Structure 1
Amino acid sequence: MQLIIPNWTGVPANVGAFATLRHGGVSQGPYDDGNGGGGLNLGAHVDDAASAVAQNRALLDVVLPASPLWLTQVHGRQVVDAGAVDGAAAVEADAAIATRPGAVCAIQTADCLPVLFADVDGRAVGAAHAGWRGLQGGVLQNTAARMRAAGAGQIVAWLGAAIGPDSFEVGADVLQAFVDAVPTGDADSAARLAQIQACFVAIPQRPGKYLADIYQLARIALREAGVTQVYGGGLCTVNDRNCYSYRRDRVTGRMASLIWLK
């Protein structure tokens, strides 16, 4: 099993975190490791064999303090407490926090941006699934706010593997959705609008199409949430075949980004 360990500073020793890649499991054929070996697909909703997903999740459990809370992600802004819900239930949410040691927050992705959060005093952690809809809807701000309501003070964040700015083609509707979400009438509105618009680069050969920078959009959202220490970013799921990518392959598996308190 190949893992990405967040390279961040200021995170206390009682925080555990990592993200998976596609290697080290038992899934076959488009869910494999990209080289014909077993893939570590952790998504139960992508038509992979249920037995393979169960075996992959069991392999993951070996290196975790407990089985993660697997969310039913819907590209929204709902945040739940991983230590306060029944892990066997289908929970619709796109972010989770934890304040109880051993409760594991997990986010599945295959191009959308996973964001991990940690309180520098080790009181709370969180994980969010940030596709463009979640970013536009405020899922990162909601996660930070929920952590602070649970006792967190200064928060740092880590951006995991996601579709990079050279690969994330979107339509004008996506740009307009972000523009429409900018509050008007205050002194910061114009600056915020300019920052958002700078995240979208027009494609000359494709009128109405843009390349979007999901990492920079996330940094803007995190800054609005008072999270200024942001690490990671830059690993493109489309270009790196160690990653599952829906945009590249369409039928593919899901990786996980996980965080917990020890």
Structure 2
Amino acid sequence: MMRVVRPVSFEILRPDWRGVSSQVQAMSTLRVGGCSSGAYGNEHGVSGLNLGDHVSDDHAAVAANRAKLNASLPQDVIFLSQVHGNIVVRAETLVPGVSADAIVSSTPGLVCAVLTADCLPVLFCDAAGRVVAAAHAGWRGLASGILQNTVQEMRLCGAGEIFAWMGPAIGPEKFEVGQDVYDVFTSQDRNAIHSFVKMASDDTVGAGQKYLGDIYQLARDALNSVGVNNISGGKYCTVSDQQKFYSYRRDGVTGRMASLIWISQDNQPMGLLV
């Protein structure tokens, strides 16, 4: 049985969707609004909403942060054990500890969620609000087809027209990658060259060619390849905005934000859009 959902008491981002059923509820948490401190706090080292229990933050603080999040959800969220792969699971059969990078639900009240701190979170729904999903898409997951697999699983669950929202991730001016990453994507799709900008190289240090990659454009291309064209979001940079976002690449030791989506039965508004 679903609990009575309380409005969120912390700032969130919400998808800028149009034409989607009001039964679809979705959000991404930010860095602020919780109990974590130090490297897991806000930019001043206090009141951080770190939701990752695998990053050496104080266990009591993480538990308090998760309890605060769960109070705004119809059921407690079960987080995936994310492995930068392409496995998709169903929320209806999910148990703690499952290794996967995307989750799909067609049952009201079951929450799909992923944790990120530079990797790209993508939330999905169909227009009628019958099927929702969340995917964790770092470059390895993108290259191995995590978004395509998520869309395929949604369609197996009866999804109609699919919408996707790209949450906060490392931006194209900060996502420095090597030749290996460039080669992985361009060997799969020659058009991927348009998602990379070659950086000036210093051959004296033997570092090899470096590129700036656009993880948002790589995701758009992956979604377009399976017929998903209603794509929004992709306007953030976790590395550049220290006030709002955790960033592993910027800080090394840092917390994790959550992107979540579910099918509601009461259309209750969740809270603040920022």
CA-to-aligned-CA distance 1:187-224 (integer Å, 9 cap, x gap): xxxxxx1x201111110135510000000000000001
The answer to whether structure 1 residue 158 and structure 2 residue 150 are counterparts is no
Q: What are the equivalent positions in structure 2 for 1:199-214 lying under 5 Å apart?
A: 199-206=195-202, 207-214=208-215
Unaligned runs of 5+ in 2: 1-9, 203-207, 265-274
1:101 corresponds, among 105, 108, 112, to: 108
What is the CA distance between 1:81 and its match in structure 2? 0.7
The answer to whether structure 1 residue 66 and structure 2 residue 66 are counterparts is no
Q: What are the equivalent positions in structure 2 for 1:78-227 lying under 5 Å apart?
A: 78-86=87-95, 89-182=96-189, 193=190, 195-206=191-202, 207-227=208-228
CA-to-aligned-CA distance 1:4-37 (integer Å, 9 cap, x gap): 0111112101110000001010011000011232
RMSD (Å), alpha carbons: 0.9
Q: Could you say which residue in structure 2 is the equivalent of 1:247?
A: 249
2:259 corresponds, among 254, 257, 260, to: 257
Q: Could you say which residue in structure 2 is the equivalent of 1:42?
A: 51
* Matches of 1:228 and 1:75, distance apart in 2: 24
Unaligned runs of 5+ in 1: 183-192
- Aligned residue pairs total 249
Please give the TM-score of this superposition, normalised by the length of structure 2: 0.89
Q: Could you say which residue in structure 2 is the equivalent of 1:189?
A: none
Letter in 1 for 2:218: L
* Matches of 1:84 and 1:226, distance apart in 2: 27
* Matches of 1:11 and 1:54, distance apart in 2: 33
Aligned partner of residue 117 in structure 1, secondary structure: strand
- Verify the 8 A CA contact 2:39 2:45 in the aligned structure 1: no
* Matches of 1:222 and 1:198, distance apart in 2: 16
* Matches of 2:224 and 2:133, distance apart in 1: 16
* Matches of 1:36 and 1:27, distance apart in 2: 8
CA-to-aligned-CA distance 1:153-186 (integer Å, 9 cap, x gap): 110000000000000000000011112323xxxx
- Verify the 8 A CA contact 2:116 2:136 in the aligned structure 1: yes
- Verify the 8 A CA contact 2:31 2:42 in the aligned structure 1: yes
Q: What are the equivalent positions in structure 2 for 1:25-36 lying under 5 Å apart?
A: 25-36=34-45
Aligned partner of residue 83 in structure 1, secondary structure: helix
* Matches of 1:40 and 1:140, distance apart in 2: 27
CA-to-aligned-CA distance 1:106-138 (integer Å, 9 cap, x gap): 110000000000100111000000000000000
Runs of 4+ in 1 over 3 A off after TM superposition: none
What is the CA distance between 1:76 and its match in structure 2? 0.3
Letter in 2 for 1:179: T
Letter in 2 for 1:134: G
Please give the TM-score of this superposition, normalised by the length of structure 1: 0.93
Letter in 1 for 2:170: I
* Matches of 2:43 and 2:112, distance apart in 1: 27
2:15 corresponds, among 3, 6, 16, to: 6
- Verify the 8 A CA contact 2:201 2:209 in the aligned structure 1: no
CA-to-aligned-CA distance 1:28-48 (integer Å, 9 cap, x gap): 100001123210000011010
